[in-house]
């Protein structure tokens, strides 16, 4: 069965943001996402994983060092965060 998607726009502080909300599956998709979130959160309880995660974060200086030349570049910060999420 085909799903329904709703395209919405949001204006926040002079920023226009568009997003898509999927209505397919409803509760089932929410339950699947909840299970995936719990599995991902369990990784953070593992000492070895956390050690590697923190090391990765430290390497990505533009996420936390305010004086870094790319700290205020939103596109680069987004790409860096995506690389960090790939690690998770």
Q: Range with the lowest mean pLDDT among 15-19, 46-50, 82-86?
A: 15-19
Residues 59 and 77 in one domain: yes
Whether residues 38 and 51 fall in one domain? no
CA-CA-CA-CA torsion for 48, 54, 58, 61, nearest 10 degrees?
Answer: 140
State percent of the chain over pLDDT 90.
42
pTM for the full predicted model: 0.53
32, 17: one domain: yes
Q: What residues are paired with 20 via a beta bridge? A: 7
Residue 88 pLDDT level (bands cut at 50, 70, 90): confident
Per-residue pLDDT band for 23 (boundaries 50, 70, 90) equals: very low
Are both 22 and 57 inside the same structural domain? no
* Higher per-residue confidence, 70 vs 46: 70
Domain limits for position 78: 44-88
Which residues are within 8 A (CB) of 74 and not within 5 positions of it... i.e. 6 or more apart? none
């Amino acid at each position: 069965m085909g799903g329904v998607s709703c395209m919405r726009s949001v204006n926040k502080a002079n920023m226009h943001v568009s997003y898509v909300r999927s209505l397919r599956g409803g509760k089932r998709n929410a339950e699947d996402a909840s299970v995936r979130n719990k599995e991902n959160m369990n990784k953070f309880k593992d000492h070895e994983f956390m050690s590697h995660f923190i090391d990765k974060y430290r390497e990505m200086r533009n996420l936390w060092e305010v004086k870094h030349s790319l700290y205020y570049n939103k596109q680069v910060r987004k790409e860096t965060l995506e690389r960090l999420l790939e690690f998770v």
